[in-house]
Amino acid sequence: MNRIPTLAGMALAALMALPLQVAATPISTSIALDTVFSGNTPDGPAPWLIAEFTSAVGSNTGTLVLSSHTGGPDFIQGLNSQQSTVGWAFYLNQALSPSGAACTAGTCADNGASYKAGGFNTGPVPGLFNLAFGWSQSNRFMIGDSATYALTFASPLTGNPFVENASHWSSVAHIQGIADDCSGWIVSGDGTGAEGSGPCRSVTVAEPGELGMLGLGLLFGGLLLDLRRRYS
């Protein structure tokens, strides 16, 4: 009769001795670029670009999925060899490891992913952006394209690393190929200073030969005007 409570007590003691398994707090965030900061409005309805990041607090890794929802011939290029301009950029408040970004599927950016603590030049949009992606002219990121990246961080995550910068923008992208060969800078976040969409301004640069003919024309026009004044 006394064995039942004894066995129950032993089972309870064994359960209490087991280590507690604490579930990791998941991290899941979606960044939608749906605001025109300057330039022209991309084709199709907003949001034109979406980035989704998943991980867990305490983890050193995470998955970032980039996807394009633009319309028409719109595309992203950007990020030249000097890393002075970007195609699509984000702001991280936790540093990536030196080899912390690897494309695992989709239309991978030609540069992979560039992390630069000092920030990148992102055209007219203010604030620091330190994670950038860029595609070449022969490998444009267009409607329906997506790219999946495995990110490795220098230290365990304490929360969502994709946050707004000091100017309250979390992401920026330069969309090109908009109707009439225009382009626009689109953003995500709660920042200020957005100029909105404007008219497409195509700038035609004259060839050197055309500039020379124009100069000669102005010179002869000036001489004729001077002769008329002298003999009138």
Q: How far apart are CA 224 and CA 134, in angstroms?
A: 54
Q: Which pLDDT score, from 0 to 100, does residue 212 have?
A: 46
Q: How far apart are CA 158 and CA 155, in angstroms?
A: 9
Give the pLDDT confidence of 37-88 residue by residue, as tens digits. 999 999 999 999 999 999 999 999 999 999 999 999 999 988 654 555 689 9
Q: Which pLDDT score, from 0 to 100, does residue 122 have?
A: 86
Identify whether 34 is part of a domain. Answer: yes
> Residue 177 sits in which domain range?
26-189
The burial of 51, by beta-carbon neighbours within 10 Å (0-12 exposed, 13-18 middle, 19 or more buried), is given as buried
The burial of 55, by beta-carbon neighbours within 10 Å (0-12 exposed, 13-18 middle, 19 or more buried), is given as buried
Identify whether 228 is part of a domain. Answer: no
Identify whether 112 is part of a domain. Answer: yes
Identify whether 199 is part of a domain. Answer: no
Number of domains, the chain: 1
Identify whether 18 is part of a domain. Answer: no
Identify whether 1 is part of a domain. Answer: no
Give average pLDDT by consecutive 10-residue segment, the chain, 232 residues: 51 49 84 96 96 98 98 85 74 94 94 86 91 91 97 97 97 93 94 85 40 45 49 50
Angle (CA) 31-36-39 rounded to 5° is 140
Instruction: Tell me if 55 sits within 8 A of 61, measured CB to CB.
Output: yes
Q: Which pLDDT score, from 0 to 100, does residue 78 have?
A: 83
Q: Which pLDDT score, from 0 to 100, does residue 204 have?
A: 36
Q: How far apart are CA 52 and CA 65, in angstroms?
A: 5
Identify whether 130 is part of a domain. Answer: yes
pTM of the model: 0.77
3-class secondary structure, 124: coil
User: What is each CA distance from 144 to 51, 68, 141, in whole angstroms?
Assistant: 13, 6, 9
Nearest to 36 by CA among 178, 200, 194: 194
Report DSSP letters for 145-190, one per residue.
Answer: -EEEEEEEESS---S--B---TTSEEEEEEEEEETTTEEEEEEEES
Q: Which pLDDT score, from 0 to 100, does residue 169 have?
A: 97
Q: How far apart are CA 206 and CA 120, in angstroms?
A: 32
Identify whether 52 is part of a domain. Answer: yes
